[in-house]
A and B are shown apart, each in its own frame.
Chain A
Amino acid sequence: MATHRGFGISSIEYPTGMNQNGDPSQAWVKVKPDGRVDVFSGTSDIGNGAKTIQSQIVAEAIGIPYDWVTFDNSNTDSSPVCTGTFASRATFVAGNAVLKAAMDVKQKILEVAGKEMEVSPEDLHIVDGEVQVKGSPDTKLGVADVAAAATWTHGVLMTGTGAQLNEYAEITNTLTGEVSGPPHAAISYAACAAEVEVDDETGDVRVLRLIQVYDVGKAINPSLVEGQIEGGALMGLGLGVLENSYPYYPSPDHRGYSIGSYYMPSSEDMPEYKTAIIENPSADGPYGAKGIGEMANNGQPGAITAAVHDAVGIWVTELPITPELVLRALDAKAEPRREGKLIAFDEELSVNSMASGISWSV
């Protein structure tokens, strides 16, 4: 009777935006008479930080400080269409929409500034809230002054709009799954290693350490990226060893109905983390960003199953890896069926042994 340590890895990919695309996000931006900027976007913030990320994108694109941006995603009267905050699309798809809206309004600012400064707009750019002549930073006019001139002198409302819509990828052959074009925007990549401890007397599996690598394209706000990675990791740990809506699946009985009777990770289940964030810019994300919110809970379960095998020599392929499953597997010491070149695991779980209406073979 002892505890055993094990180590396992996984490597995953995940698409950005809705599968097959066709999911629009739109935004619009207006400039107040003092140069402060209001962004209207239909992207819900579910904790992922959409308000922060999209504000940062707008500030960067126009060339103004972050705290000049007001972000409004509060309702469908003022905000244009956003398909929503899911499919890892809030930074990438909706971020592209606010980026386009910001670039649009920036052009309007430069045009009014050009009139005020008697300089061609192409020769101007915006740095820290000031419109400057390129190569001659002392020749400048504050964005606030430009906005005032637009409002009181030129009678112009400076607004920008942006819309992002990746073309719907139709399935052109339902027999083979061929599609009319790429069925997603950028793909994100990650790899994960888990170190576990398995108690062969109690069947308890503890995840001690998660080492994780994510290629996020560009971390628009690294603290938010960390938050997705760390929060996702604990959710992935829950998937791997704790959580189950139907503890006696397929039976629907004895479901957890409370925080106390549904097992999910608490602060005490948190493993040690080691994280590397890699920035390989995507071709078409805002500033090269990709979406990683969802994939953040995909890598851990596969790394944990391999680590459990490394620790005690069993493959548990039903999640979560409960003490009961571990102890039963240790007792059974099941070997795959080996016949010729076939190595067949888990035959007792297969439709072939459970069902009569559907069968499955090489």
Chain B
Amino acid sequence: MNIVLNGVTVAIKSPPLASLLTVLREELNVTSTKVGCEQGGCGACTALVNGKPQRTCLTPIAAVDGASVTTVEGLGDSDHLTAVQQSFVNHYAAQCGFCTPAMIIAATAYLEGNGSSDREEIEEALKGHTCRCTGYQKIVSAVAAAVAETTFDLTVTTPSPNTVIKSGGQT
């Protein structure tokens, strides 16, 4: 068996029923795909399989023999962030960061499928991904801005909509 991992063909030694998640993490040391539940529920293990987001924890490696697999390592590195990655930084869309790589994979697929910047459509597209930290607002904002191809100043982040800061009036 083999897969095309982030553009490079790699042979797989793991048994055929090993999950793609286990193969990625334990055989290939690709650790951006996270073990969040191994129940298909949280989405933290998502990778692109032949361009489509897929739960790697529920995917036997034999079922994706020969497939193209993309993880966040295959998108952009710290010197060459993709628009989605830049937008996540700019909008503070990652807090603890554990759900973030898979969230970026899902957002990338959403953009490549010509998703719109409509917030409800983005919420729908991300609903299979659990984030316990952010309350999703900043994630949705990040995806919407990435769709709009906003360019970012990575030294300053973007505020949340509908938020004001004011000095206290009391002494």
Contacts and interface: CB of A to CB of B under 8 A. Distances in A.
Contacts of A279: 165-168
A294 to B, nearest CB: 13
A345 to B, nearest CB: 32
Nearest to A225: B165
A258 B95 CA distance: 23
B41 A226 contact: no
A259 B42 CA distance: 6
A276 B39 contact: no
Contacts of B158: 223
A278 B164 CA distance: 8
A277 B164 CA distance: 6
Interface string A268-294: 101011111111110000000000000
Contacts of A81: none
Contacts of A3: none
A279 B92 CA distance: 21
B97 A230 contact: no
Interface in B69-104: 92, 95-97
A226 B138 contact: yes
B160 A230 contact: yes
B113 to A, nearest CB: 17
B37 A267 contact: no
A270 B161 CA distance: 14
Contacts of B41: 258-260
A99 interface: no
A279 B41 CA distance: 40
Contacts of A281: 168
Contact of A227 (B122, B124, B130, B134): B134
A231 B133 contact: yes
A219 interface: yes
A258 B165 contact: no
B114 interface: no
Interface in B113-165: 122-124, 126-127, 129-140, 157-165
Q: Which 4 interchain pairs have the tightest Cβ spacing?
A: A259-B41, A280-B168, A47-B96, A47-B95
Interface of A: 45-49, 215, 219, 222-224, 226-227, 230-235, 258-260, 264-268, 270, 272-281
8 contacts: A222-B159, A223-B159, A223-B160, A227-B133, A235-B135, A268-B124, A276-B163, A276-B165
Given A223-B92, A230-B136, A259-B42, 9 more contacts: A226-B138, A227-B95, A230-B137, A258-B39, A266-B130, A270-B137, A273-B163, A276-B164, A277-B165
